[in-house]
Chain A
Amino acid sequence: MDEVIIAGVGQTEVGEHWEIALRDLAFAAIQEAVRDAGGLRPQALFVGNMLAPSLSRQAHLGALIADFAGLSGIEAVTVEAAEASGGAALRAAYLAVKSGALDIALVVGVEKMTDRIGPSAEEALTSVTDADFESPQGLTPTAQAALLMRRYMHEHGVPSDGFAGFALTAHANAVTNPYAMFRKAITVETYRKAEMVSDPLNLFDMAPSADGAAALILTRPDVLPSHGDRPWVRIIGSAIATDTLALHDRRDMLFFEAAQRSASYALKQARLTLDQIDFFEYHDVFSIYAALQLESTGFAIRGHGWKLAAEGAIGLQGRIPCATFGGMKARGFPGGAAGVYQAVEAVLQLRGEAGKNQVPGARIGMIQSLGGPAATAVTHLFQAA
């Protein structure tokens, strides 16, 4: 029996936690996940973090967090893949448990995005782009998204408010998520009046940087003392793919090849097709990325990703519900923790514990975490047990 399950989940509220240190934030999520898993004690810790060395002046999170979580002595390392660090940490833990090298693994995604503001924060975030040929020109991650958005709108004839549907859906879903940063619905008017950040990308086309931590306990059914009645979720697909780091090196910028490849590997592993997926947690750090993910994974044909949002197909009752707890846009974007939040939210959906955010009859969910403009893409498929 080599099936990998998620036996426990935990998350902290996403927001500006000036009063909470990185280690305490991580511990809060870990404590909740361990309790949720019925007290299982992890043998190893995989930390998903993007930029603590520059944003928090703290490297070596494995040892730090293991110690402060009362797990001193266990195996513990950080996994980094820019904004996809959380998804990559989940993948590392999955491989370890799947192989039998470990029986019980703990994943924690944690990021303090608000300890720094202004140019030095912007410089830190920019370090995930190409340091030889992108950032010396003053390019930032937000500008990368804006460049893609402008070209996409040009090629596909998208109206100026064409991307509004992504923010509208996210905000509508976040209203009933107690862990979300912005629990307030918005209208198309809000979107139209939003401040321009890097044209054509406005404030509602990007997710708010925030602090947060989320945690998962991974194990296999055969190592559990008794099967009991704990609601498990199975990991039935797991894959990472990469693309060129620099945007200018892509053959086709308006198609996220890594997103396509990691999704198709994961689907193949699970022996599933896209039409069997009940919901999709995408990486909507920028609305253009959500649109390109919908197209690259195959939920929409090329040039039509934005239309799914505009037509309401991504709502909780829609054809393919997305950002079911508010996504990065409204739940908030806690850097390297983001991919682990996606996993926690997918588990709640599949256990039927999503409350007002429940996708009716959800059995299979797909989550996809991106590093940069899909220079890394991590896809996981979960199934209700």
Chain B
Amino acid sequence: MEIPRHWRLRKQRYSLVGEVCPHCQVRIFPPRDVCPSCGKEARELYTFSGRGEVYSYTTIYEAPSGFEQQVPYTVALIRLEEGPMVTAQLTDVSPEEVQIGMPVEMVTRKLRTDGDERGLILYGYKFRPRLQQA
């Protein structure tokens, strides 16, 4: 289940916490402590709005372990309105309805179940079609 990993990443998985570069103001997600834009150190936390649009998407039928029960599921690259791109599953939508450019928003959902004896469930962000246009 990788509990330590999930613990480390909880702010990102539950609330899309990234960083903002104090030097050039670029917003960064997933967080990395060297700004990809200006190369200087960036450790200031920044919580993203969770709004964005679909840059590309596809549907997966042959899943890795832990995702078998979800097939078919749709993964997308989402351009967040603050700039960065994020990889995430789409939810509350059928694959045929998805389009490039579709407005989406972040929600918290079950990401995967673990095959181990403890049967733990991993939660984190997914995106769904935006309910009210902001």
A residues lining the B interface (CB < 8 Å): 119-120, 122-123, 125-126, 130-140, 142-143, 146-148, 150-151, 154, 197-201, 246-251, 253
Contact = CB atoms under 8 A, between A and B. Distances in A.
Nearest to B28: A249
A138 B77 contact: no
A142 B67 CA distance: 15
Given A132-B30, A137-B75, A247-B77, A143 B64 contact: no
Interface size class of B (residues with CB under 8 A): 35 or more
Given A137-B87, A201-B58, A147 B77 contact: yes
A246 B84 CA distance: 12
B64 A136 contact: no
17 contacts: A119-B63, A119-B64, A125-B64, A137-B126, A138-B60, A138-B73, A138-B112, A142-B60, A143-B75, A147-B57, A147-B76, A147-B77, A148-B56, A150-B57, A154-B56, A246-B30, A247-B77
Nearest to B126: A137
Nearest 5 pairs between A and B by C-beta? A146-B58, A123-B64, A151-B56, A248-B85, A122-B64
A62 to B, nearest CB: 28
Given A136-B111, A199-B58, A248-B30, 16 more contacts: A119-B65, A130-B87, A131-B5, A133-B12, A139-B87, A140-B62, A140-B63, A147-B77, A150-B57, A151-B56, A151-B100, A198-B61, A248-B84, A248-B86, A251-B36, A253-B77
Contacts of A135: 64
Q: Is the interface of A mostly helix, strand, loop or mixed?
A: helix
A142 B63 CA distance: 10
Nearest to A254: B56
Given A136-B124, A138-B73, A143-B75, A126 B64 contact: yes
A147 B56 contact: yes
Contacts of A200: 58
Contacts of B76: 147
A247 B56 CA distance: 12
Contacts of B66: 119, 123
Contact of B77 (A122, A130, A248): A248
Given A119-B68, A138-B112, A143-B75, A133 B58 contact: no
A27 to B, nearest CB: 32
B107 interface: no
Given A132-B9, A150-B100, A151-B100, A138 B56 contact: no
Q: Which of A123, A138, A250 gathers most chain B CB within 10 Å?
A: A138
Contacts of A154: 56, 100
